[in-house]
Amino acid sequence: MFDCVPWGGKGGNPAPRRFAAEYAELSDSIIGAFPYSEGIYEDMNKVIWSQLMWYGEVEIEQIVQEYCRYYFGAGTARQAERFIYRLEDLILGGENGETAGRLVLQADEISGQMEDWARQGWRWKLLDARCRIQASIDLLFREGENTECMEHFRNAYEMVQNELNLHREGVSLQPWIYAPSDTALNIFLGLADVVNLTLDQQTNAGAASEKE
């Protein structure tokens, strides 16, 4: 689990090559595993670890290929594969600048060619939202406040949290699991951190109970 606070709030975080490398490093020291996950945002990573534990000789490219073909359809599987590797580079810091913006265009192209069942599936929505959220974060980080960009971020973030992750204000633990879009954006931009936000909430809650 990484790149995920508020929990899964950025959308999917596929990292096939990262985890293939981790498995290669650990494979001589482990026999099997007990897969564990705390969110759908890392669906591809769960599949990768499960397949490597089942048959460690499989190539990571084959896992990604089968995943994309099964969940996104044969007609767009190859495009989705390339998209996922570029998204991994973006997430892990291998690319920067306007990469997320270019991935948004690529996602639009792939979505336009997908069958409706794949385009409307939560797995694709998570990956599609990831590049859109990151594009908004990158633009706001470079240029500062931008009303249109902030609105794009809010729409994508709330869709991920409310529709896909089913995280709700007043129900899910804040700010670790759910945070309002403005708070989440400050976390993503490095203007706030969840530790201090948690301490502030605890302090405020304590003060309120004392007044009562």
Encoded tokens for 57: 């000789």
Cα 182–chain centre separation:
18
Indicate the pTM of the whole model. Answer: 0.86
**Residue 42 · residue 13 · CB < 8 Å:** yes
Stretch 112-125: mean pLDDT: 97
Burial zone of 155 (CB within 10 Å; 0-12 exposed, 13-18 middle, 19+ buried): middle
Task: Say what percent of the chain tops pLDDT 90.
Answer: 61
Domain boundaries, the chain: 16-171
For 34-75, how does the pLDDT look when each residue is reduced to its tens digit (9 = 90+)?
878 888 999 999 999 999 999 989 999 999 999 999 999 999
Distance CA 129, CA 151 (A): 14
